Structure 1
């Protein structure tokens, strides 16, 4: 069989390459010899060669002048043309094929090559020197500016802080928004925080614009300091979330906003929890959406959201998928809880997942030689985002305490198993930051100030940091962010628009990982049925919240109240009067029983007659028995009071009562004065009028 593969072992000639000193001389001499030989044989007049050479010399001189070549190079090129033309004219006259002609031609070629090499080296040297001269000029200009900055700030630091530093370098930021000074601290144990404490005074002395600061941080060693000086206020402008929705990873960090030098600031949450603080109007909700956007873009994170304020933080990330905006679209978050009951189901599932992972993945961690679960797209990390979760931890009511205990358990046991939390709060106060677990685990911290001073203790939020003031970031979405990798400093959160949320959900739908089989089994049926229609009906337009789900997925009994929760048309006064008379006639004729629950617990009640008759109240007996039991629980709760969820849980096993039903009773009792509502929101509780504060 013939071998059709040809092996080329010789040199490859590049015909597109230009002439060098050797090939140029060889080309010129062979050309002269060919013209002289042909001209002598054809009887061509010798003067033609001289005229052509003269024209070539003039043409190359003109082009060399345009290229601003040196005089030596111009002279070498013109001489080469003239000498070549002179030799060709002489050889055509005397004959080119003799030893004198060939020897002189060879000498001419060698001389031309050497001259071309020398002039080429000289031109390269001239070009390098010109570039170096330009760089030196730029350096002199920059050095002059840097020297002026260094001198100015050495004087300023001495005047404001009382210490003399030696500036080693000044780096201008590429964005033009400021610069960084690298300075050496004086001997005698002076530390960088002596400058950091005077940030506000330094900024005022430098006459920096509002929103610009001079902040000091640790240098390369403890005897150095870095001073970041912002000269352009980048916090005032609204910066929309980047439209590049490319994939991210938990291990490479998730961008949460921009520093004042326009660099992205990233949160690394494999082992750290996060705490985001921001009062109303500071842009905290927008920041939560930015955080959820980053998690949605990752390939190794599943996001579970708890928001007891009607689930508002997670709804925009769920609705596009529920509305069917795209075929096969998945929600931007993996689980959303809007009620305390659903939050308990979620937290219980998280704890089970963490404990089961510890047992099931021992071999995997042993092979990887690590005590941290290797998080990947196959075994994703669960990020638990709890809006106003810090307030839940600080709550004193029974419901909040129960949720808080579960949240703290997740934070305490789940770090190694790839489960971390992001908590938000309305203020940086002692009540929020008083928990040691939060202070220890939430090393990624954000304080969105929005100019608000009440409840914004930056010293508690960023302990050990100096010179941070709320009035440095008076703009919505602006504040301070600190991580274990970067010291607390000003930053600006991106503005994310509703249409961007829909776009991100659509763009990242096929990127979300699925919960690994081991974890999904541990999470149980509560996780598997999280998107059941009954549990997501409240997420759709004009749908009431679903009945409270018990841990086994049922309501614990026959829920007759569901028939009464349907919307009924309002009755007119005439219809009400007619209904009242009809009930009186029935009671008179059939001796029906009195309405249960109309007397207080413990009071003597008149027993219904034993005579045969139609007892319409029998149809309501079970429901009213539950109502009596609920009123008894309310009375037994004393001055502390209780809530709808607690009453519903106590009655669920015996009566199958749902939280919605209890809420209706409590509202009725509040309206008629039987109960008094104390507090608001998730902290609301109900107290019997006997124990009410005003009683």
Structure 2
């Protein structure tokens, strides 16, 4: 017969689900039509009428038993049994008298309507019974929970009365979703009693409640001055090490940056648009880890550029730079921070650039602030905020070293002058001492404060760091990475920070690479060459320089010259060989330079530089020309997408004595080489560096 083929037939029109249950209308219709069909067929077949009555009786008994098993209401069971008996009774009568008359049809219609109405009524009644049963169960749970809460509230009313001599009236008690504690909202007694009376006895309340170590009973202000909130922690969530969250979603300086979590597992957000921050922690308390958590939050933000000053070999910023330097060819990875300074000289360049940016923004963005009707610079992805993280910066401010005092002066100028223009600082310190906190500027501007104790008591005066806070004891935070944190939005209290490892830092750098903003053109112009050349090889060679630094060579000119023949050269241990002059082309990862920032320049000028030689320097004029050419290229880059012209560049090179014709020749040469792009003609001619050119093709 050949192969059997299956044909799919598509049906159009009303789709009937024969497996679906009946509602009040379809059920009544099914019952009445069924009864009419039985009566008609039974009349033609001369069926005994009593058979229909017997079937209806059996159906009524079966549905009654089923309803009892399902614990249905009596009216529901009665309605179903009555439907069977009425249907079978009508069928019996119709079999005896004949179904083909108006009396039979009319009575059947009345029975059908009655069945539908009864089914609808019983259905609504059963739904109401079910809802009432659920509500009763919820009320029972609430009564049990309320009883537990009333017991806890009564215990703490007695406890506060016993320890503090105050009679509270508890208004509410909220159990934390994490099941690690609860919060009591209570009304203070009349007579001018404030929450401080309870806050200063936090330690005694915790001891009276027999709370575990690391758990506290902390009192803080309520919704008004006559109310108090008592946060009681019953589980020490700070004892365990918690990894940094794997959610690297975008953040903003306006919506807050998470720095840690409270004892109730709630995240603590810092709002640093107008605030500075101070992080204090002795050695071994987890301060370096905290710095990396801070940098991770800044890296995730879409409107923050992070600059880091760490005079300890730049160790705080290196993990955020190296993933970009080690990226493979063609992989677009930008570092997690925008500038890293590891020396006094580089830090001075950074701070000078910050001051120039802030002062220039005050003039350049007046129209923007007027349009936004605000005296604060509208920070966004296009105009990012600059956060300067200074590791052990508080110690810099208290140092007596002349070079360090120069840094301290500029740090204080940034803190004092540039709040409105979106430049803020995060300082760290080794201890909360009077020397560190003696500066009025720090106490006034650093409203976000962190004290990582790690159980250390030396040099950790919490009363100086958190004036006015009561009941803070170092013993409450003995674990590494735990301590106390206070912000203007959240009073000082216990907190813990996440553990972040180098592997996760690398993940964050890669995940947020495309999210980092670039310095706006106005600020880049103000920052000048110091910012544009921040990733030059000459200024970042130390990152990849793993050779130990050797002592300065002996200046004794009578030392014998190194032999060129074979054999053992013992003088090599005494006089290190002179290393060749470093150039911008030697050992530079070109891909890294291309991807980190748009402000990079070609290393042609640096390649022409030679180490200075004693005696008459006949190449001085050539070196000066190279310096002027390099400065002109830097100005072209700093001009951004708007570009600049030969006259504008020549005016800024007065100190070199460079003429406009010379600059025009350089611009023409750069245009021929593809380094610059010419836009416009005649008097409207301007040049744009290729990294800022619109719709420029990707660089290989």
- Which TM bucket (shorter chain)? 0.7 to 0.9
Query: In 2 relative to 1, CA 29–362 (structure 1 residues): closer, same or farther, beyond 3 Å?
Result: farther
Q: Alignment partner for residue 201 of structure 1, among 183, 199, 204?
A: 204
1:299 aligns with 302
> Do structure 1's residue 401 and structure 2's residue 405 form an aligned pair?
yes
- Deviation of 1:103 after TM superposition, in Å, equals 2.2
Q: Alignment partner for residue 127 of structure 1, among 116, 130, 136?
A: 130
Query: In 2 relative to 1, CA 487–88 (structure 1 residues): closer, same or farther, beyond 3 Å?
Result: same
2:426 aligns with 422
2:509 aligns with 505
CA distance in 1, matches of 2:375, 2:549: 42
CA distance in 2, matches of 1:330, 1:303: 12
CA contact (8 A) 1:211 1:473 kept: yes
2:241 aligns with 238
CA contact (8 A) 1:357 1:519 kept: yes
- Deviation of 1:72 after TM superposition, in Å, equals 2.2
CA distance in 2, matches of 1:317, 1:303: 11
- Deviation of 1:178 after TM superposition, in Å, equals 0.6
- Normalising by structure 2, report the TM-score: 0.74
Unaligned runs of 5+ in 2: 1-13, 556-561, 576-611, 618-700
CA contact (8 A) 1:537 1:543 kept: no
1:99 aligns with 102
> Do structure 1's residue 283 and structure 2's residue 286 form an aligned pair?
yes
Deviates more, 1:198-207 or 1:46-55: 46-55
- Deviation of 1:15 after TM superposition, in Å, equals 6.8
CA distance in 2, matches of 1:208, 1:622: 81
CA distance in 2, matches of 1:411, 1:437: 8
**What secondary structure is seen at the aligned counterpart in 1 of 2:254?**
helix
> Do structure 1's residue 516 and structure 2's residue 520 form an aligned pair?
yes
Q: Alignment partner for residue 153 of structure 1, among 144, 152, 156?
A: 156
**What secondary structure is seen at the aligned counterpart in 2 of 1:216?**
strand
- Deviation of 1:61 after TM superposition, in Å, equals 4.3
1:437 aligns with 441
- Deviation of 1:377 after TM superposition, in Å, equals 1.2
CA distance in 2, matches of 1:501, 1:65: 66
**What secondary structure is seen at the aligned counterpart in 1 of 2:379?**
coil
Residues 464-543 of structure 1 correspond to what in structure 2 (within 5 A)? Answer: 464-542=468-546
- Normalising by structure 1, report the TM-score: 0.75
- Deviation of 1:118 after TM superposition, in Å, equals 2.6
Q: Alignment partner for residue 354 of structure 1, among 354, 358, 365?
A: 358
CA distance in 2, matches of 1:415, 1:425: 22
CA distance in 2, matches of 1:376, 1:329: 22
> Do structure 1's residue 411 and structure 2's residue 405 form an aligned pair?
no
CA contact (8 A) 1:538 1:545 kept: no
Deviates more, 1:322-331 or 1:64-73: 64-73
Unaligned runs of 5+ in 1: 1-11, 547-559, 562-567, 581-617, 624-695
CA distance in 2, matches of 1:303, 1:383: 5
Residues 70-219 of structure 1 correspond to what in structure 2 (within 5 A)? Answer: 70-219=73-222
> Do structure 1's residue 452 and structure 2's residue 456 form an aligned pair?
yes
Residues 562-573 of structure 1 correspond to what in structure 2 (within 5 A)? Answer: none
1:341 aligns with 345
CA contact (8 A) 1:538 1:544 kept: no
CA-to-aligned-CA distance 1:179-225 (integer Å, 9 cap, x gap): 11111101000000110000011111111110000000000110000
Q: Alignment partner for residue 363 of structure 1, among 356, 361, 367?
A: 367
> Do structure 1's residue 229 and structure 2's residue 223 form an aligned pair?
no
CA distance in 1, matches of 2:386, 2:526: 14
Query: In 2 relative to 1, CA 106–382 (structure 1 residues): closer, same or farther, beyond 3 Å?
Result: same
CA distance in 2, matches of 1:51, 1:348: 104
- Deviation of 1:277 after TM superposition, in Å, equals 0.6
1:586 aligns with none
1:21 aligns with 24
